Amino acid sequence: MFDFSALTNWIHAGLLSFMPEWLAVTTECVLIGLVLLTVYALLALFYIYYERKVCAAFQCRLGPDRVGPMGLLQSFADMFKMLIKELISLKHTDKFLFALAPYLVILASMLAFAVLPWGNGLQVIDFNIGIFFLIAVSSIGVLGILLAGWSSNNKFTLIGALRSGAQMVSYELSIGLSVLTMVCLAGTMSVGGIVEEQRDLWFIFSGHIPAIIAFIIYLIAGTAETNRGPFDLPEAESELTAGYHTEYSGMHFGFFYLAEYLNLFIVSGVAALLFFGGWMPLHIPGWDAFNHVMDYIPSVIWFVGKAVVISFIIIWFKWTFPRLRIDQMLSLEWKYLLPINLFNLVLMVLVVVYGLHF
C-alpha cells in the first residue's frame, strides 16, 4: 500500500532546497490549510447532494435532476447563490458575538477535520493524545451555537440554542465513553496507533460484544451531537422556524449549513477510525491472498468509503424516525445510554485484562 509520507517528505525536501527551514514550514502550513479548505468545501457539496439523493430515494422521488447531469451541479448552484446573498445587519443584537458565532462553529469542525487519518501517512496531526484532542476541539462548536442563539436577540433562536446546548453536552458523555471503550481496547490515544492496532482485524470484529455495543451507542449519540433527525430539536422548523440560526443570512448561514454536513462526515470518520480500521484495508487472518488483493485499494478510498457508508446509516435515521420530544431525547441519554455505556466500559476492561479479544 502506498505510503503518502514519502510524498510529503519529498515536498519538504524540495522546499528546503531553496528556502530556510522556518519559511519552508510556514509554506507547508499554508499549503495544508488550503488543501483542508478545498477538501472541506468539496465534501460539504458532495454531502448536500448525497443527502438529497438518499432522501429522494426513501420518498420515492428523483431528487436534484435539472442542474447538470443527474443534478450534479445543483449543490454548486446553491453555493454560488449563497455567496452572493446579502449579509443582513440586525438591530438590537450583539454584533460582535453575532458575527463570531459561525466562525467558531467552522473552527471546531476544521480542527477536528485535521486529526482524521485520511490515508497511510496522510494525516495533518498525529500525537500521543490525538483522540483526547479530537474530543476537546469538537466541543468548541456548542459555544458557537450558544452565542448565535443568545446574540440574535430572538426568543426562537435562544430556545434553539438552549436545546442544542443541553443536547450536545448530554450526548458528549455517551460519545466520550464509547470512544474511551475503544481506546481501552487499542491501548493508545494516538490516532495512528489505533489504526495500526487494527492491521490484522478491525475492532468491530475483534472487540467482541463491547465493541458492537459501543458502535451502536456511538451512532445514536453522534446523530444527536450533529443535531440531525430524529434529534433535530434545536432546528425544529415546526416550532422554532430555523432554531439558533434563524436570524442569519448569506454566507454566515452558509457556515452553519456547511458545518452541519462536515460534522456528519467527522462523526462518520471517527466511527471508521475507531471501529473499522480507519484507512486500514479489510484483513482476515489466514487469508493471505485476499489480504494482498485488499492492499491494492488506495488507503484514501478505504477511509472515505467507510465514512460515506456510515453517513448513509445516519442519514437513514433522519428520514425514517419522527422527531423526539425534548424529554424523550434527554431521557434516552441519561436513563439508558449512559448507564449502558458505563457497564460496557467495565465489560471492555474485563475483555482486555483477561485477553478475551481476538
* Burial of 70 per CB tally in 10 Å (0-12, 13-18, 19+): middle
**Residue 79 is assigned to a structural domain of this protein:** no
- The packing angle between helices 95-115 and 21-58, to 10°, is 100
Give the pLDDT score at 80.
87
Q: Residues 105, 142: contact at Cβ < 8 Å?
A: no
Q: Residues 162, 149: contact at Cβ < 8 Å?
A: yes
| Ranges of the chain with pLDDT below 70 | 1, 236-242, 357-358
**Residue 95 is assigned to a structural domain of this protein:** yes
> Can you give the pTM of this predicted structure?
0.90
Give the pLDDT score at 68.
84
Can you give the residue range of the structural domain that contains 263? 90-353
pLDDT per residue as tens digits for the range 124-172: 888 888 898 988 888 888 888 888 888 888 888 888 888 888 888 888 8
Give the pLDDT score at 338.
93
Q: Is the dihedral of CA 306, 312, 318, 321 positive or negative?
A: negative
By C-alpha distance, which of 233, 187, 193 is closest to 357?
187
Give the pLDDT score at 310.
94
Helices and strands: H and E segment counts in the chain:
16, 0
Give the pLDDT score at 165.
82
**Residue 99 is assigned to a structural domain of this protein:** yes
**Residue 41 is assigned to a structural domain of this protein:** no
Give the pLDDT score at 336.
93
**Residue 120 is assigned to a structural domain of this protein:** yes
Give the pLDDT score at 212.
93
By C-alpha distance, which of 166, 167, 189 is closest to 179?
189
**Residue 72 is assigned to a structural domain of this protein:** no
Give the pLDDT score at 78.
86
272 vs 267: CA distance, rounded Å: 9
Give the pLDDT score at 86.
80
Give the pLDDT score at 236.
67
Number of structural domains found in the chain: 1
